[in-house]
Amino acid sequence: MLAGAVLSGICPVCGNRTRFLAFNDNLRESGTCERCGCSNRQRQMAWMLRREIALPASGKLAPAESIAIYNTEANGPVHDRLKEHPLYACSEYWGSKAEFGDAVNGIRNEDLQALSFADASFDVVMSSDVLEHMPEPYHAHSEIFRVLKPGGRHIFTVPYGEAMLRDDVRASLVGGEIVYHAEALYHGDPVRPDKGILVWTIFGLEMLVRLKEIGFDTELWRLRATACGIIGPGGDVFVARKPA
Ligand SMILES: [Zn+2]
């Protein structure tokens, strides 16, 4: 139905007037900005970042120099716009290829479930479709809470089903072995394009309760903004705020 659809507007990632090309049935991952190459999902993250750090809707994605940002990925158009920022940190998960906190090919190795950053390091943490890919996502949320400054926030997307009361835990780690509770589900991974990456959890309302237990005040934004190339469904972005 949407195959080949094109919108035009201002891209929240690159800030340019542009066209969003070739939407397809995978709405979140399509609608490529012809200026910066970003997807609908990446625009959702950038739209929310702009709102949270009070940047205008157009122009460069250039945070004020005092804002410390940690992006839990080190690739893609949002990263490309932020990487020159003086207080920008980014990482990928390289596992045992290096100590956590050290670099592999120039990119810091971090396990979100046990971050190597000091307490209260960041104003903003960003993660987009990351937390479903680890066995203990709430350890990661607790760690993100720890490294955020008071008043800081975690902007994130995850697979989320509001009709589900409980998280759908599809796999768990028992004694170092993966135990599957449902058919193994894999998502594409830009860092490991050959094999994809396991989905451990699809989140339900339980997530909002557990985030509150950790200490976060969480908002769910259901974004629709055709003038920014953001169309739904699949426009859910969470902002989890550490109280000031
Ligand atoms: Zn763009």
Write down the CATH number for the domain with range 63-241.
3.40.50
User: Residue 38: what pLDDT?
Assistant: 98
Report which of 51, 52, 50, 32 is spatially closest to residue 41, judged by C-alpha positions: 32
C-alpha 73 to ligand 1 mean position (Å) = 18
pLDDT-derived band of residue 72, with 50, 70 and 90 as boundaries? Answer: very high
Domain boundaries, the chain: 63-241
pTM: 0.95
Report which of 10, 13, 238 is spatially closest to residue 126, judged by C-alpha positions: 238
Report which of 222, 205, 191, 227 is spatially closest to residue 94, judged by C-alpha positions: 191
Neighbours of ion ligand 1 (CB under 5 A): 11, 13-14, 33, 35-36, 38
Average pLDDT over residues 81-106: 95
Interval 6-39: pLDDT, tens: 899 999 999 999 999 989 888 999 999 999 999 9
DSSP 108: E
pLDDT-derived band of residue 73, with 50, 70 and 90 as boundaries? Answer: very high
C-alpha 185 to ligand 1 mean position (Å) = 30
C-alpha 19 to ligand 1 mean position (Å) = 8
C-alpha 14 to ligand 1 mean position (Å) = 4
C-alpha 94 to ligand 1 mean position (Å) = 28
Interval 37-48: pLDDT, tens: 999 999 999 999
Average pLDDT over residues 83-103: 95
Report which of 51, 55, 92, 52 is spatially closest to residue 71, judged by C-alpha positions: 92
How far is 50 from 8, CA to CA, in rounded Å? 19
Say which amino acid occupies 189.
Answer: D
Range in 26-30, 74-78, 133-137 the model is least confident about: 26-30
